[in-house]
A = this chain, B = another copy of it.
Amino acid sequence: MADQRAQQMTEKDYMAEAMRLAKEAAKAGEVPVGAVIVKDGKIIGRGRNRREESNRSLSHAEIEAIEEANQNLGSWRLVDCELYVTLEPCPMCSGAILQARINRLVYGTKDPKAGAVDSLYQLLADPRLNHQVEVVSGVLADEASLLLKEFFLKLRSSKNKPE
């Protein structure tokens, strides 16, 4: 993507790319969550849930995106980076966002069962920890929520089918 176009992208555009990755996860039979990392207007990391395919406990969308950004920057510090993700991060991914020193998080829909940014914990706002993160929520939230609901509905109905 050309730099000029990248600079014109909005929050919704970045989240739309995360949604595209979430849909890719759904097609692969994975819980549909997608993420991108943005620095200076450019996407430097992409990830989607890949836990079943990779057999890796760590393979949430945010982790995969952080690892790609680490490689692209050659650093464990993702300073001045934003992370866009379709679902509120869990404790592991919230902790990884802190470890990576990401400045800003934009997420789609809340996760009342495991969300660690707003729902169950507010890990990114804890003044006792050595890093805090600016948080925006609700970007393309309905779309992200619908995709997850459809996925789990399909999963349940396929499990209830007679063998």
Chain A residues within CB distance 8 Å of chain B: 51-52, 54-60, 63, 66-67, 70-71, 74-78, 90-96, 98-101, 113-114, 116, 120-121, 123, 126, 128-130
Contacts and interface: CB of A to CB of B under 8 A. Distances in A.
Q: Which of A60, A96, A120, A123 has the most B CB atoms < 10 Å from its CB? A: A96
B94 A90 contact: no
A151 to B, nearest CB: 17
A51 to B, nearest CB: 5
A85 to B, nearest CB: 15
Main secondary structure of the interface of A (DSSP, over half): loop
B100 A57 contact: yes
Contact of A94 (B91, B113, B126, B128): B91
A121 B120 contact: no
Contact of A114 (B94, B101, B129): B129
Contacts of A121: 121
Copies of this chain, count: 2
Nearest to A70: B56
- Closest CB pairs A-B (n = 4): A92-B95, A91-B95, A57-B100, A57-B76
A138 to B, nearest CB: 22
Contacts of A100: 57
A129 B120 contact: yes
Nearest to A126: B120
Contacts of A59: 76
Nearest to A74: B55
Given A57-B66, A91-B91, 7 more contacts: A55-B71, A57-B70, A90-B95, A91-B95, A91-B116, A92-B94, A113-B130
